[in-house]
Amino acid sequence: MSSKHPIYEGKAKKLFEGPEPGTLIQHFKDDATAFNNKKRGSIQGKGIINNKISEFLMSRLNDMGIPTHFIRGLNMREQLVRAVDIVPLEVIVRNYAAGSFAERFGAFEGESLGSPLIEFCLKDDRLGDPFIAEDHIYAFGVAQPEEIDEIRHYALRINDFLSGLFYGHGIRLIDLKLEFGRYYEGEMEMIVLADEISPDTCRLWDLSTNEKMDKDRFRRDLGKTEDAYREVARRLGVLPAANMVEPAPFEKVTTLKPRKKAKEKAAPKNAPKKKK
């Protein structure tokens, strides 16, 4: 790590100068934050798990023709990615009411929205990442109309693909947060998916029990956050093996009771005593 030239450090990741021009090394940390950095903590092994989950999902999206910044995985915590200019927007795609959305509109958590709903937040920690309307986006020059059209198109395709993929592994995709960047190649400019896709950026519920399998477990002090992240990785078939011990399935974690010792049989009263 010390030999790499640092570029940027965020809440959950670090960026280092890449080995080739126009590339970066994205390093996943175990740090966890919530409520605009007001709550901080650490989830053991989160960086490794999120790296492997995001690597898997970004690769699948690349394969289906959705451009991303992901190039290839490097090790347990790092990826090689394209350097992009991040569009300062958080793009939230909601399939079901949950979290602050449910509170704002008086909906119950898990209520279906009928069709995917897209919201935008201005990516600015100083302002608390406020919601922003499209007219505001254009008025402040955050992005151009044609870029927002492209972002909407990709966001809906990504949501549709991931909803089906997670459903096939017994997981319901409640909502997800996406970030996009501008990638330049010569005179060509294109919008690409950036950042990560993981339990940090998605709300994921068990399909049969509605157990939360994402960062809400950290936000709400529900416990077993690491177990939930591991279970998502296990179901996707990307659970890291090196230096990691796989626990029991998330919904079936039990405590084993020590086995009682068998009682020794008493000798008959009239049995002959053994000679010393």
Q: How confident is the model at residue 268, as a pLDDT?
A: 46
pTM (2 decimals)? 0.85
Among 124, 97, 120, 128, smallest CA distance to 110 is for 97
Question: Residues 105-127: what's their mean pLDDT?
Answer: 95
Q: How confident is the model at residue 185, as a pLDDT?
A: 87
Q: Which CATH architecture has domain 6-245?
A: 2-Layer Sandwich (3.30)
With a pLDDT cut of 90, the percent of the chain lying above it is: 80
Q: How confident is the model at residue 3, as a pLDDT?
A: 67
- Concatenating the DSSP letter of every residue in 153-200 gives HHHHHHHHHHHHHHHTTTEEEEEEEEEEEEEEETTEEEEEEES--STT
95-99, 105-109, 209-213, 253-257 — which is least confidently predicted? 253-257
Centre a 10 Å sphere on the Cβ of residue 31 and count the other Cβ atoms it contains.
17
Q: How confident is the model at residue 35, as a pLDDT?
A: 80
The dihedral over CA atoms of 16, 226, 161, 75, expressed in degrees to the nearest 10, equals 30
* Three-state SS at 7: strand
The dihedral over CA atoms of 159, 54, 200, 246, expressed in degrees to the nearest 10, equals 120
Q: What is the largest CA-CA distance in the chain?
A: 103
What is the tens place of the pLDDT at every residue in 158-183? 999 999 999 999 999 999 999 999 99
Centre a 10 Å sphere on the Cβ of residue 175 and count the other Cβ atoms it contains.
23
62-66, 81-85, 259-263, 270-274 — which is least confidently predicted? 259-263
The alpha carbons of the chain give a radius of gyration, in whole angstroms, of 24
C-alpha 129 chain-centroid distance: 19
Mean pLDDT value across the chain: 88
Map out the domains of the chain as residue ranges: 6-245
* Three-state SS at 133: coil
Q: How confident is the model at residue 249, as a pLDDT?
A: 43
Report the C-alpha gap between 65 and 72 in whole angstroms.
16
User: Between these two residues, 240 and 61, which has the higher pLDDT value?
Assistant: 61
**pLDDT of 248 above 70:** no
**pLDDT of 253 above 60:** no
* Nearest-10 crossing angle of helices 145-167, 46-63: 110
Question: Residues 82-102: what's their mean pLDDT?
Answer: 97
